[in-house]
Amino acid sequence: MFNKMSKREFIAASAALTGSLLMSKTAMGSTKYEILMLNKDPENSKNKMIFSPRLLKVQVGDEVSFLPTDKGHNSEIIKGMLPAGAEKWKGKINKQVDVVFDTPGFYGYQCKPHANMGMIGLIVVEGDGMLDNLEEARSVKHRGKAKKAWKALWEEADAAGFTA
């Protein structure tokens, strides 16, 4: 009837299935990325309430999954930091959010409960019209630690050549 699977066999089968799902997604010409929602940075415990990575450049059609690695977080778009015609998202606390990016431009997002603590991020989607909402996104006002976090994040995006 049923064969019992060892833990090693189960892990190997799971990895093969996951790999095949990712390959089929890649075969369709798009890539899937993951952004972790964390209470603290595993590489620097002084950095608290973060998205990792907090800056990401993707192509039109790519998908990003926001994973609630630690409890108490969500991911949602920031008003004024979304290209015209793009779809907003607002995830629930402790729930994974999957977003497919179909419009080039700059997408600023936050964890609503921790935005004032600087839990913010930026996704840049390449393509024609990518820079159309750059100035609007840069001009959005932020409060608390988010103000300093956005200043640093825009500097990082500039240094990476994402804003040119």
CATH number at residue 83: 2.60.40.420
User: Would you say the C-alpha torsion 41, 46, 48, 50 has a positive or negative sign?
Assistant: negative
Q: What is the mean pLDDT, run by run of 10 residues, along the chain of 164 residues?
A: 47 40 52 97 92 98 97 98 97 98 98 97 97 98 96 97 95
Report which DSSP code applies to 98.
E
Residue 5 lies in a domain: no
Residue 18 lies in a domain: no
Residue 25 lies in a domain: no
How many domains are contained in the chain? Answer: 1
Residue 132 lies in a domain: yes
The whole model's pTM is what? 0.82
Residue 135 lies in a domain: yes
Domain that holds residue 71: 30-159
Secondary structure (3-state) at 39: strand
**What is the Cα–Cα distance from 14 to 3, expressed in whole angstroms?**
16
> Residue type for 160, please?
A
Instruction: Supply the pLDDT for residue 28.
Output: 62
